[in-house]
Structure 1
Amino acid sequence: MKFDRAKVWLWSRRIGWRVLVYGGLLVLLARFMVFPGAFLSLFGLMEGAPGWMAVHERVYEVDGTKLSGWLVERPGKPLAVFYGGNGMDAGVLASATQEFDECAWLLVNYRGYGRSEGWPSEEKMVDDAVAVLDRVVKESGRSMEDVVLVGQSIGSGVAVQVAARRKPGRLVLLVPFDSLLAVAKEKAPFLPVRWLVGDAFRSDKVAARVECPVFIFAGSRDTMIPPHHARTLSGLFPHVEVYREFDSGHNDIWGAEGFYPAMKRALRLDAAIGGSAPDGSEGVPAEAAGD
C-alpha cells in the first residue's frame, strides 16, 4: 500500500485539534471544580453580604489588585480571619460575625470572588492573605498572637499556609483536607489529576511548621472531603488541642449540633485550653482517630 503523506498529515491535524480542544475543556473543567466561585462571580451568581454589612466594607490592594471584603471591628478583642470555601462569597459569614462576638472579624474575598479583581490561584490566595493580614494587624494595633485564623474547606489550605508563615494565636480548621491533590486523586483516580490540579494546597507539607494550638472540626458524613483527610492532617501538627467530628456533611457543619459552643470556645483566646472537646464533651485525640 502506497504511503500517502498528505492523508497522514490531514489526520494528524484533525487528531491534534481534538486533543487540544478536549484537553482544554478538561483543564477548564478542573479549574471550575477548584474555583467555582470565580466562575459564578463572573455571572453575578454568588450570594454576598446583606445590606447591613455595607458599613463594614473594606478594599485592600495587593500588587495593584483590589480585594473586596469586610472588617467588623471590635477594639480590644482578638481578630478572627476567615478563609472560605471554594464556592463561598466571604460575605455569607455576616451573621456569624454577630453570633460570635468574642472576636472582631475580617472577611476578604479571594481574587475573582465577589467584587475582588483578578483570578484565583494557590500562590495568589496565600500571598494576598498574608499581605492583608499584616496590614490589618498593624493598622489595628494588634499582634499576631491576637489573631485566630479560621479556614473552611479549601480555605483550610490557605489558613494552614498563613499560619506556617506567621504565628497566630490559634488556627481553627473546618472540614479540612491534608492536600487537595489527595482528595482529587481519591475522587477521580482515572484522570491525570496531578497535571490538572495545579493548585494542590499541600497542607500536609507545612503543618509541622505551625506553632500555635490547632482546632479541627470535621463532618462525619462529609462525602466531598471525607473525614479521614482531616484525621490524617491532625496527626501532622505539633499542637492539636481538639479534633472533633460532628454529625454533618461538608456544607452544613455550621448547623451541626454542638458546633456553635465548640466554635465559641475555639475562638476565645482567653479561654483555658484543656484536653476536652470545646463544647465540654470529650474530644478525639488526633493520633487516636481512625478511619
Structure 2
Amino acid sequence: MDVWAPRAALALTLVVALVIGLVWLFQRRLIYLPDRTPVPDPPLPGARTVELTTADGLRLAAWFVPAAEPRRGVSVLVAGGNAGNRAHRAPLARALAARGLSVLLMDYRGYGGNPGTPTEAGLALDVRAARDYLARSGEPIVYFGESLGAAVVTELAVEHPPAGLLLRSPFTDLAAAGQVNYPFLPVGLLLWDRFPVAERLAEVRVPTTVVYGTADTTVPPEQSRAVAQAAGGPVRTVEIPGAGHNDPVFLTGEELIDAVVKLAER
C-alpha cells in the first residue's frame, strides 16, 4: 500500500496537469461558441446585409434593420453573446424596429460566416467597426450588449460614450462567470481574455440599464446586480422573475424592449 500511494498521487497529479494544460491551450474554444454558418439576407422588412471593415482589415457582414414609422431617430447597436450568430437575434431586431428604432445586428469575427478568430482584442475592433457604421447617420446610438456582448459594449462605451447603454445578463468579469461554469478549474489563473465589465463600467457616465433573469444559472443574477452597483453614472435595473439566460423573454419580452425604448427616449 505504501509503495503504490506515491505512484497513485503522481499519476493523479499528471492527469490534473494534463487536463489543466489542455484547457489552457484550447480555452477559446470553450469561451467562443460561434455558429459559423454563412447567414442569408435578413428575413425582416426593409432590412439589408451591410459590410463592416475593422481596423485590422477584416470585412464583416452584419444586418441593418430600419426603424418602422414613427421613427424615434435613435439607432441600436446589438452585440451578441458568445454563441450563435445574428440570425438567432432576428426577433430582437424585429421587436426594436417595430418600436421606431433602427437596429444594427453585428456578428463578430468567426461568427455567421465572417472571417477571423474571436478574441477579446478582436471583438473590440469588431464593435468599433459597427459603431463607426452607425455613426455615419448622425443619430444617437444605444449600445445593447448580451452577456459576453455586455462586456464588449462596455469597453466601447469607455472610449465612445453612447446615448445609453443596455447590459443584458452581464457578468462582473469573465473569470467570475467561468468559475460558475467550471468550478473545478482555476479559471482566473488560466484566462487570456478577461472582459472586466464591472471595472470598466465604473468609468462610464451615460445612462445604463441592467436587465437580468432571476433563474439565470449561466450568469447568476448576483453578478448582474454587482455590475449595476459598479456603474459610474445613472443606472436602472430590470429584474425578470423566473427568466433563464437564453429564454425568449430576452429577445421579444416587453420588459426588455421597453427598457431599450426608455433609454432611447432619455
TM-score, normalising length from structure 2?
0.81
Task: Specify every segment of 5 or more residues in structure 1 that has no aligned partner in the other structure, as ranges.
Answer: 1-16, 273-291
RCO greater where, 1 or 2, for CA within 8 Å and sep 6 or more? 2
Unaligned segments of structure 2, at least 5 residues: 1-13
Secondary structure of the 1:156 match is: helix
Give the whole-Å Cα distance in 1 for the aligned partners of 2:72 and 2:212: 30
Q: What is the CA–CA distance in structure 2 between the aligned matches of 1:104 and 1:262, rounded to whole Å?
A: 16
Residue of structure 1 aligned with 2:62, choices 65, 69, 79 = 69
Task: Normalising by structure 1, report the TM-score.
Answer: 0.75
Question: Counterpart of 2:3?
Answer: none
Larger radius of gyration: 1
* Contact 1:234 1:240 (8 Å CA) reproduced: no
Q: Which amino acid aligns with 1:250?
A: H
Instruction: Provide Cα deviations, 1:62-110, integer angstroms capped at 9, x if missing partner.
Output: 1221111111134762010001111120222222222222210011111
User: Where do 1:1-291 residues align within 5 Å?
Assistant: 25-27=22-24, 29-37=26-34, 40-41=35-36, 44=37, 48=39, 51-53=42-44, 56-62=48-54, 63-74=56-67, 77-101=73-97, 102-138=100-136, 140-142=137-139, 146-247=140-241, 248-252=243-247, 254=249, 259-269=253-263, 271=265
Structure 1 segments of 4+ aligned residues over 4 angstroms from their partners: 17-24, 48-51
Q: How many residues are treated as equivalent by the alignment?
A: 245
- Relative to structure 1, is the Cα distance of residues 266 and 18 closer, same or farther in structure 2, using a 3 angstrom cutoff? closer
**Matched residues, percent identical?**
27
Inter-partner Cα distance in structure 2 for 1:55 and 1:82: 15
Structure 2 vs 1, CA of residues 216 and 269 (structure 1 numbering), >3 Å: closer, same or farther? Answer: closer
Secondary structure of the 1:119 match is coil
Q: For 1:132-188, what per-residue CA distance to the aligned partner results, in whole angstroms no more than 9, with x for missing partners?
A: 3123312x233xxx1100001111110111111111010011111111111223433
Structure 2 Cα separation of the partners of residues 230 and 261 of structure 1: 16
Query: Hey, what's the Cα distance between the residues in 2 that align with 1:119 and 1:201?
Result: 17
Separation in structure 2 between the aligned mates of residue 249 and residue 19 of structure 1, nearest angstrom = 32
